[in-house]
Structure 1
Amino acid sequence: MSHHEIHRSHRIGWLRAAVLGANDGIVSTASLIIGVAAADTAHEGILLAGIAGLVAGAMSMAAGEYVSVSSQSDTENADLALEQRSLNEDAEFEKRELASIYEERGLDSHLAAQVAEQLMAHDALGAHARDELGILENVRARPVQAALSSAGTFTLGAALPLAAAWLVPGDQLIPVVAVLSLLFLASLGGLAARAGGAPMTTGAIRVTFWGALAMGITAAVGQLFGVVA
């Protein structure tokens, strides 16, 4: 009977991008809406600022994530190309190098040499990428995937406080957007923590605290500039 374990570390790539995008979408858009509303801006102006923040934030997240992950991908590809040249030029040296890595992990020299020889016969570059360079296929850098994931989750996150602002005009806008956004953040933090195997309460408190701080500061700034104006 086959046994297959699902490790949480396999989720780290997409989980990081999804949580970061949604969290930024909620915090930045809610803070922007609250800050603009605190300056006694008309409801139409508040919505316009929220929409502009959503679009600009999603594009910024996509561009930033693409550039960041592309740099990581370039580094990985350069290392793999260098390793391939080394394999082409001196495969025996690379085999001994791989065997020494296995010896350091606890295998005796004879078994380490056998493992290195068999793995290199199957996939020499893959063996060195995994065991010498630490490049694993399931966490390889994928710029386009990361960019789309970040932009998409940012948009979903930003749409939540924006919808609240659209549905609740007037004096209730700031408290309603703030409370709902903090609830969204707490839920997101809890779910992300559960998916990563961490305590849900810790994850919820962590993101809620920083979200509340961001909203409080922007509200104060908006009120200050509203008074000055």
Structure 2
Amino acid sequence: MTSTEDSTPEVGTHEDEPHGSGRASKLNWLRAGVLGANDGIVSVAGIVVGVAGATSARGPIFTAGIAGLVAGAVSMALGEYVSVSSQRDSDHAVLAQEKRELSNDPDAELEELAAIYQAKGISEATARTVAEELTAHDALAAHLDAELNLDPDDIASPWQAAGASALSFTLGAVLPLLAILLPPQTIRVPVTIVAVLVALAVAGASSARIGGSSVRKAVLRIVVGGAAGLAFTYTVGHLFGTAIG
């Protein structure tokens, strides 16, 4: 399923998440949730509006919407599970390698750690002292932090990521499904379009605030894109529905 906004940043990316930064991790999860809900809104809205362009019967619209919701949630969960599992395997491989290096040649690892801090602008003597003190406290954590920005306690769970992705998609998908089914047939499509565009605006604003980008640009981009997508799917559904019927 494709979002009209930026793709979700990959969970567990070492360069993007500072060691011990619980706030950064929470923000990434929150942003992923917002974008997952956005995907649910866009995907299912496109399906139900397209079907509504072909038929006014609630049955086909409901069936198509539910099918899109379930398929989208499963797809999102599976994709997130595979992605996070791969990242988790990579993280554990890095942990194992670092443990071996510390066990096999601790002196070389100490020199490496001191060199890292020296490269950051600390004097040679101070860098050496820092490296020695950190090594004495927790050598593995010191190297994971300095070399990889990796916190072993913050490695994402594939099952949690998959569940969160499926849940956020489902919550987003419920909105257009209810909006298309509850109103009378005569105003069904306009109500759905308005509800979806408002929801997209909220999602776009939330995503922009989390990411620190321009709220106005994000909202404009996602609302215009969403409106164009809904107009296109409705037109396609109407044309094909008329032709087949």
TM-score normalised by structure 2 residue count: 0.84
Answer yes or no: is the 8 Å Cα contact 2:209–2:215 preserved in 1.
yes
Answer yes or no: is the 8 Å Cα contact 1:10–1:138 preserved in 2.
no
Equivalent in 181, 184, 190 of residue 199 of structure 2: 184
In structure 1, what is the Cα distance between the partners aligned to 2:91 and 2:61? 44
2:4 alignment partner in structure 1: none
Answer yes or no: is the 8 Å Cα contact 1:8–1:197 preserved in 2.
no
In structure 2, what is the Cα distance between the partners aligned to 1:148 and 1:169? 34
Answer yes or no: is the 8 Å Cα contact 1:31–1:218 preserved in 2.
yes
Answer yes or no: is the 8 Å Cα contact 1:58–1:152 preserved in 2.
yes
1:132 match: secondary structure: helix
User: In the alignment, does 2:226 pair up with 1:211?
Assistant: yes
Aligned counterparts, 1:1-229, within 5 A? 9-136=24-151, 140-229=155-244
In structure 2, what is the Cα distance between the partners aligned to 1:116 and 1:210? 52
**Identical residues among aligned pairs (%):** 50
In structure 1, what is the Cα distance between the partners aligned to 2:210 and 2:92? 30
In structure 2, what is the Cα distance between the partners aligned to 1:136 and 1:224? 54
Shift of 1:197: 3.1
In structure 1, what is the Cα distance between the partners aligned to 2:188 and 2:180? 6
Size of the aligned set, in residue pairs, is: 224
Check 1:139–1:192 CA distance in 2 against 1; reply closer, same or farther (3 A cut). farther
Query: Please, what is the CA RMSD of the aligned residues?
Result: 1.9
Structure 1 window deviating more from structure 2 (30-39 vs 165-174): it is 165-174
Q: Which runs of 5+ in 1 are unaligned?
A: 1-5
TM-score normalised by structure 1 residue count: 0.90
Cα shift readout 1:62-109 (whole Å, capped 9, x = no counterpart) = 111111111111111111111111111001111111111101111011
Answer yes or no: is the 8 Å Cα contact 1:9–1:196 preserved in 2.
no
In structure 2, what is the Cα distance between the partners aligned to 1:225 and 1:138? 53
In structure 1, what is the Cα distance between the partners aligned to 2:63 and 2:35? 24
In structure 2, what is the Cα distance between the partners aligned to 1:45 and 1:154? 21
Q: Which runs of 5+ in 2 are unaligned?
A: 1-20
In structure 2, what is the Cα distance between the partners aligned to 1:116 and 1:29? 54
Structure 1 or 2: larger helix share? 1
